Structure formats: structure tokens, C-alpha cells
Amino acid sequence: MKIAVFSTHQYDQDYFSEFNTGHELTYFILPLNEQTAALTVGYDAICIFVNDVVNKAVLDLLHTNGVKLIVLRCAGFNNVDVQAADDLGMPVLRVPAYSPEAVAEHAMALILTLNRKTHKAYNRVREGNFSLEKLMGFNLHNRKVAVIGTGNIGKAFCHILKGFGCKISAYDTYPDNTLATQGVTYGTLEETLADADIISLHCPLMDTTRHLINKQTLKLLKKGAMLINTSRGGLINTVDVIEALKDCQLGYLGLDVYEQEGKLFFHDYSEDVIPDELITRLISFPNVLITSHQGFFTKEAMEQIATITFGNIDAFVKGQELVNRVAV
């Protein structure tokens, strides 16, 4: 197939070129949206990532241009109007699981860094400052950690927490029986958030989960709790979280995703003014740690993403069952 690959960086090209199963790929640095959809003329399929916009207007343009298949090289699909794609006869295929340990481990890295302030200690020592003042953390052992969403990534995260001796509470509309038998306590969202020392989000972004963390749910948290999000930025109401940080209701915030990340993440603004006042405000807090959607970024994950993506494409070409098709 002739495939247009959007929002690409050198690492995308390296892995997709290595694992290509015989398709003609054209790499575009630009994201896919209504302005760039014209680039798809003459292509059979598109390959997109988390911040590409595939709404009904874009889908209509893709269909007119002859695109027959939409392939996501990620697990989330909230940026695609799946119903509109189905109405146009365009299957949407995704990578449902790629090294869930990669994201789970990054969530733990955010927790450990925020807690023990290793990023600050690193900078201090490089400047010849060996003081321990204001670097005190807390033991993770016996701390209550609330895990919101126990799919593949949430489950891997629970296994990591058990190694630290944490008390794990979880919320999921479909509880995992295996985790329950291993000591993970399931409850309602309110029960799970209450008295938690750390809250880590691992659920998909849907209408029912958008702004799951908001002014009301933040009030349920123990004062000074830590909030971690390595899932999707839209799970958090950023304005409400900033207020919670200002009021010290929230003691720590670790983000690998951001509600308005589409125009920021994966780009270099080091010589420019950051065009987003909310993230600039977040960066100003000493108890906030932000990484730019790098939780997935391991060698193993990139290999799996490429392999599964081409497997999805090959299945479509051969008329086989599309096991990774997003259901309407």
C-alpha cells in the first residue's frame, strides 16, 4: 500500500523503515488536520499519532482523496471520529498494547523524582551545592496509591507498586479479578480517591472520563496528595488543578500528557515564547514535573508499535480479520 505517515520524527522513520513489510511510505513532519489533509491525494492509507486530528471534516477529505484505511500507531483513538470513519467504510486500526511496562515504569519514575527530588539534587550538585535542605521525601512503603484504570498499563503499574510495598486501591468499570486476588482493593471512584497518598491515571479518554479530575474530585483527595497522569491530558481539568496546587490541596503533580499538548509536545520552543499560559503556569510550580509524552518511548515499545502497525496493514491488504479494529 501507499501510506502517508503524519507527525513523524527521525525515530519514527528509523523504526518504520526497519520493520516495513513492503509498503511505500511517505513521511510528513506535519500533523494531519483539515489544512494538511490535501497531502493524502493518491494514498491508500494514513498512519497517525496521538495529536493528529481526524474529525468528520478530515475524514470526508480523506475519503474524497481515495484513502481506504486509517492506522493509528498508538493505543488511544479519542482523536478519531470512529463512527464517521465507519460510515465511510474506512476501518480504524490501532496498536492496543505496546510494552505497557514502558508507560507504567515512566509513571513510577515521575513519582520517585517528585518524591525524592532527584532532579533538583542533580542540579544542586552540579553547582557545588551538597545541601539536603528542602529535599526531604517520604517512604512509598505502606502508602496508599489509587490506580484509576487497570487495563494493560494500569495492571503493569500495580505490579510495580507491589514491589514497593504500597497499599493499592483501584477503580475500573471492569475490575481485574487477577489483581483483586493479589490484594488490589477495588471501589468506587470516590472510595478509591479518598485518603490516597498518590493517584495515578491509566484510563482512556472518553466522554465519560474527560475532566475526571476536576474541582469536585480534587476535594476528595488527601491534602498534599500526589497526582500522576501518563494517560491522556484531557482526563484533567488543568485550570482546576492549578487552583488545587495554589491552595496546597495538591502537593505534587507529575504529567507526561497535557490537555493542550497538540501544539507543544514533540516540538522545540527553547528559543521561543511558549504559546500556552496554562502550561507556563504549571512549569512555574516547584512541585510540578512535566515530561513531553515520552512514557511510551523505549526501544521495546517502538519495535512493537512498528511490528503491530504493519501487521494491521498486512491484515487489511490480505482481507484477513482485523483484530485491532476500533469498534464503533
- CA–CA gap between residue 70 and residue 59 (Å, rounded): 10
Cα within 13 Å of Cα(306), Cβ side: 22
DSSP character at residue 319: T
Q: Which residue has the cell 503499574?
A: 157
Secondary structure (3-state) at 27: strand
Ordered DSSP codes for 121-157:
HHHHHHTT----TT------TT-EEEEE--SHHHHHH
Identity at 86, one-letter amino acid code: D
As annotated, the active-site residues are 232, 261
CA distance 45 to 285: 43
Q: Position 70: which residue type?
A: I
- E strands along the chain, which residues? 2-5, 24-27, 45-48, 69-72, 92-93, 144-148, 167-171, 185-186, 198-201, 225-229, 250-255, 288-290
Nearest to 251 by CA among 202, 289, 209, 279: 289
As to burial, measured by CB atoms within 10 angstroms (0-12 exposed, 13-18 middle, 19+ buried), residue 136 is: exposed
What is the maximum alpha-carbon separation in the chain? 64
3-state secondary structure of 162: helix
**How many secondary structure helices (H) and strands (E) does the chain include?**
12, 12
CA atoms within 13 Å, Cβ hemisphere of 73: 28
